[in-house]
Structure 1
């Protein structure tokens, strides 16, 4: 006898269906609807143990529904219940392929379909990662959210500064970084500089104290001179009244706060990952600094849960989609259905590796391949070549992690 329990998880409730196969007939033995809290999860756990046979738990299956299924997943893991978690798209394709399980579309029928298909397909149990990988991923997603907030704040600061002191954007080489934002906070309007009655030496000292790092006298003088020159020719659209300059100072302060939060999160993630052997492996990759190493590790999770690198390619969305019909054959494109954060980190890593490989004593077999493909007359489009390099980087990382080895150029070139 085999028993499967299908769980259709929504935002507030979960529909439960218990299906029993006694070798001759498959039937729904029990069905209910519970809330997504301890009041509801308790009866689910009782059902699981009720239908256990000789201490063998029934097969529990549900779809991954983002943050909504995370609570159920955590509850089952805490109570040592193995489960099968499905990708919703894959689950839909499997139910369609089987056909005939149910015609109506309701949450309860979905739970029933999941349980019935589990008995037919006999899907394997999901790989349960160490909780530290989950904590890392949550922290990394928060880090990406802050990155998005930084972009928004930069755009807002640029727009606000056009009314008060647009010339300030030319004082430093970059409009990014704490020094620039503190400069904006201190002098959001040229009148605040012109009417401050500071001597040039006092202005130099003010500038030098805006950064925590040691700034040379020469650099301080250069910035102070540019600042003074910019203020003397500025033609602001508004006055230096507090209500007019507040949007500028607020956005500059917000960028400083967000930047500090990013550094804090990276340090927290590094502290979480320090016991994982993968961290040193990722950091050994040419051009991989602490931030790129720990964020990529957080997005990948435990790579040992994958059987092949093709599965990892699908996970991050660089698997190729092929289409042809009759005499027409479309160009292959990546699916972009997977993890967009990991895909972005990997793509940027290829650029960083390419830059680092130009330095002496920083060989990299992935960039050797990348440059060779770029020089080939048959290769068109650097983005396509970069994606091919990403695929090769994934194979390298997977091998290093599964063999617990750090990167070594000589060994990598021997294995090509």
Structure 2
């Protein structure tokens, strides 16, 4: 006797369809909490070797996945696109109950294998990698906001240091949101503020030069706001927030490195010129345990760089990547290959050579014989 549980996962609840030898015997709606999972566990315990099929629905299916792994049940997690292509028919009638039953009934025909369960370290790396990327996005947005308000308050301060970024720059912006704060202080007070703006050692000569330059920029500036404007608080807030975000991102990076260091693929990635700790940990975090892929083509499909081929009669369409896979992994690898190509000028490697070879081949127009 073969029993399949088809589960259609939604935000707050899930539809469960239980089929035995291809026939539906029971179905119900369960909440996605301890009560619902306890009921599902009772049903699973009544069956020997149950097959469980559900569609990956982002964050909503993670709790179901964690529950099944905790109780050592094998499951088949379907990619949403894969599920759509397998279950769509000519007659479109869609409900959660029908979807759950279709997931279960199709298992009797397709005989899908259980999903490869990765070690916990890969899931932790994935979550931390996404956290790192979210922090990076927050930093970019906050930088843009700070730049916008500084164009009104004190745009000249962006020319004080070689680049308008970093802990010292943001500290100075927080101390001197407009020119008024600069011109009201004495030279000694300005020098003390500049010394305290960085945790690194700074020479007296450097302090004197920055003080002189800051005063000159303040005298040159025409502020669009007064000293009591609410925008002053926004400038200070954005500058302080950037310091917090960059420090938190650095902490997350150190956590990523600590998790990735014991893995054999980490050292392999670091041995490639152009790949450092941030890129190496991000690649592992997004690709996970690559041993679950049976071929390079499966990895390409997972990332979304597999080619889409279209041919009809005498027409041969130009090939493009499908972009149906993991967009984060695709973005990381895109930047990674550029880093490898740039580093090849001083540190040649076979990956860069292969990239240049394929790049030349892609420039040759292909025609159908």
Aligned partners of 2:159, 2:247: CA distance in 1, in Å? 24
Show CA shifts across 1:43-81 (max 9, x none).
2122122121xxxx1211100011111000000000000
Aligned partners of 1:256, 1:272: CA distance in 2, in Å? 25
One of 46, 53, 58 as aligned partner of 1:50? 46
Kindly indicate whether residue 33 of structure 2 is the aligned counterpart of residue 37 of structure 1. yes
Aligned partners of 2:34, 2:205: CA distance in 1, in Å? 65
Task: For residue 6 of structure 1, give the secondary structure of its aligned residue in structure 2.
Answer: strand
Aligned partners of 1:243, 1:68: CA distance in 2, in Å? 41
One of 348, 351, 354 as aligned partner of 1:366? 351
Match of 2:14? 14
Match of 2:178? 189
Match of 1:109? 98
Aligned partners of 1:108, 1:139: CA distance in 2, in Å? 35
One of 75, 81, 84 as aligned partner of 1:92? 84
Q: Quote how far apart the aligned CAs of 1:372 are.
A: 5.0
Aligned partners of 2:3, 2:280: CA distance in 1, in Å? 43
The answer (yes or no) to whether the contact 2:55–2:83 under 8 Å persists in 1 is yes
Show CA shifts across 1:3-38 (max 9, x none).
2111111111111111111xxxx3111111111111
Kindly indicate whether residue 61 of structure 2 is the aligned counterpart of residue 69 of structure 1. yes
Q: Which runs of 5+ in 2 are unaligned?
A: 365-369
Going from structure 1 to structure 2, the CA distance change for 1:373 and 1:12 (only over 3 Å counts) comes to closer
Aligned residues: 365
Going from structure 1 to structure 2, the CA distance change for 1:378 and 1:89 (only over 3 Å counts) comes to closer
Show CA shifts across 1:145-182 (max 9, x none).
11111111011101110111001111222122112111
One of 263, 278, 285 as aligned partner of 1:298? 285
Task: For residue 188 of structure 1, give the secondary structure of its aligned residue in structure 2.
Answer: coil
Task: For residue 210 of structure 1, give the secondary structure of its aligned residue in structure 2.
Answer: coil
Q: Quote how far apart the aligned CAs of 1:379 are.
A: 2.5
Q: Quote how far apart the aligned CAs of 1:330 are.
A: 3.0
Q: Quote how far apart the aligned CAs of 1:323 are.
A: 2.5
Q: Quote how far apart the aligned CAs of 1:278 are.
A: 2.3
One of 161, 175, 178 as aligned partner of 2:167? 178
Q: Quote how far apart the aligned CAs of 1:197 are.
A: 1.8
Going from structure 1 to structure 2, the CA distance change for 1:372 and 1:308 (only over 3 Å counts) comes to closer
Q: Quote how far apart the aligned CAs of 1:206 are.
A: 3.1
Task: For residue 98 of structure 2, give the secondary structure of its aligned residue in structure 1.
Answer: helix
Q: Which runs of 5+ in 1 are unaligned?
A: 381-416
- Pairwise CA RMSD: 2.1
Aligned partners of 1:358, 1:197: CA distance in 2, in Å? 50
Show CA shifts across 1:201-254 (max 9, x none).
x53453233112223344434433332221111011111226341111110011
Task: Select between 217-226 and 343-352 the one with higher mean Cα deviation.
Answer: 217-226
The answer (yes or no) to whether the contact 1:3–1:119 under 8 Å persists in 2 is no
TM-score (norm. length: structure 2): 0.93
Aligned partners of 1:234, 1:194: CA distance in 2, in Å? 11
TM-score (norm. length: structure 1): 0.83
Kindly indicate whether residue 241 of structure 2 is the aligned counterpart of residue 262 of structure 1. no
Q: Quote how far apart the aligned CAs of 1:373 are.
A: 5.5
Going from structure 1 to structure 2, the CA distance change for 1:331 and 1:219 (only over 3 Å counts) comes to farther
The answer (yes or no) to whether the contact 1:282–1:297 under 8 Å persists in 2 is no
Going from structure 1 to structure 2, the CA distance change for 1:331 and 1:49 (only over 3 Å counts) comes to same
Kindly indicate whether residue 142 of structure 2 is the aligned counterpart of residue 158 of structure 1. no
